[in-house]
Amino acid sequence: MSDTPHTALVVDDDPDIRKVIGTYLGRMGFTVSFAADGRAAMKQLDAGRPTLLCIDLMLPESSGYDICDHVRASPTLQGLPILMISARTMPDDRARAEELGVKRYLAKPFTQAQFVSLVKETLAQDTP
């Protein structure tokens, strides 16, 4: 990762998952903000673009798919690296996420090593 400060928005309705992901990202040097539902996430995204978006698929208010649609529709969020983290692992879920611009898809449960590796891959994929 570069010397530029990295920010991440973590969106998950499970406070324990938010804490774990926040801890992992913090260890990687990210400044992390959190949202517990899709509507709050979209408000935060409209307020400022993070370096990385980590979202759950199944959320209250608006789903992870809805957030992806929001990102695609916003000129200021175009190309935002998205890592979807979900217990839903059906091929259709992954395919729809990819169609909506998700760079990587991580199945729950996951290890710290898996998470860190996918974050690095997601950001490297976005680098020209």
Rounded CA separation 17/60 (Å): 15
Rounded CA separation 98/49 (Å): 20
Rounded CA separation 119/117 (Å): 6
pLDDT at 122 over 70: yes
Question: What digits encode the pLDDT tens for the residues 38-51?
Answer: 999 999 999 999 99
pLDDT of 46: 96
Question: What digits encode the pLDDT tens for the residues 83-93?
Answer: 999 999 889 99
Q: What is the pTM of this model?
A: 0.92
> In this structure, is the dihedral angle defined by the CA atoms of residues 11, 17, 19 and 20, taken in order, positive or negative?
negative
What residue segments make up the domains of the chain, in order of their start? Answer: 6-117
| CATH number of this structure's domain 6-117, picked from the four choices 3.40.190.10, 3.30.1360.10, 3.40.50.2300, 3.40.50.300 | 3.40.50.2300
